Structure 1
């Protein structure tokens, strides 16, 4: 009987490490505040006072602000999966007034699958020993980084 209790408790402890969890990342979206921002009425200052600083600004122009909210879930040691995502994109005109508001979700997530396990490179393939012992004698030798002249 003691053995059964022992093995059940060990199994419960082991499976406890495999429990999943949820995580919120980025901006915590408050729908009432997000709805309060209006095109033609608000400007950068009022948007910042209402929503706070953006998650990030546009890459080519600081007249685009992005508020990104993401919920993920993870089970055991697997990679996190996005369960929900909201992106609020606010565009400003040259005067700093709100000109457009866009909302998007998980459909904007790009899935990239790398090809193969190695990256092809040009040149000669070296063996383990050539890689390991190949630089012996080159430290302090004559070359472009040593500063010395050939024949000196």
Structure 2
């Protein structure tokens, strides 16, 4: 009887750990609101109807991008994997009016990283130990055991 209770308890605990979790990130497209955006609509009308875009074109601000992603994971500690991605792009002409509205999915191109925990920088990526060993100045690690010259950094 106690063994059966333990088996049932372990089964329920294992089942609780393995539920599939679906995560949504980014802009959720409202089809009714999207129907209000027609060719010739102004930039202000797009902002009032769809809200602030996820991002805009880098240099000319002539495209609004509304990005959404759906991810899944089976276990809470597991890194979510990308299931679907949709990018709604609203293109503006030089007069600030909508020229085209397009939708892109994973099949159309690259995966967009919604959250980047690192800032890309130039140079080399050094570990903490490499930074210590490649230090400069009289107290660097490479000068610490400099016995060939008879000099030590500790005096």
Tell me the TM-score normalised to structure 2 length.
0.66
- Uncovered stretches (5+) of structure 2, i.e. residues with no partner: 112-128, 141-155
Superposed CA RMSD:
2.9
1:28-67 → structure 2 map (5 Å cutoff): 28-40=28-40, 42-67=41-66
Matched residues, number: 123
CA offset at residue 38 of structure 1?
0.8
CA shift digits 1:81-117 (9 cap, x unpaired)? 3333221101111221111211111214537xxxxxx
Equivalent residue, structure 1, for 2:119: none
Structure 1: gaps of 5 or more residues: 112-127, 141-152
> Matched residues in 2 for 1:57 and 1:132: separation?
41
Distance in 2 between residues matched to 1:108 and 1:38, nearest whole Å: 23
Distance in 1 (alpha carbons) for counterparts of 2:104 and 2:134: 53
Could you tell which deviates more after superposition, 30-39 or 69-78? 69-78
- Residue equivalent to 2:79: 79
Listed one character per residue, the Cα deviations across residues 41-78 of structure 1 (whole Å, up to 9, x for unaligned) are: x0110000110010110112211100112222111144
The structure 1 segments of at least 4 consecutive aligned residues displaced by more than 4 Å after TM superposition are 130-135
The 1:132/1:105 distance shift into structure 2, 3 A limit, reads: closer
For normalisation by structure 1, the TM-score amounts to: 0.68
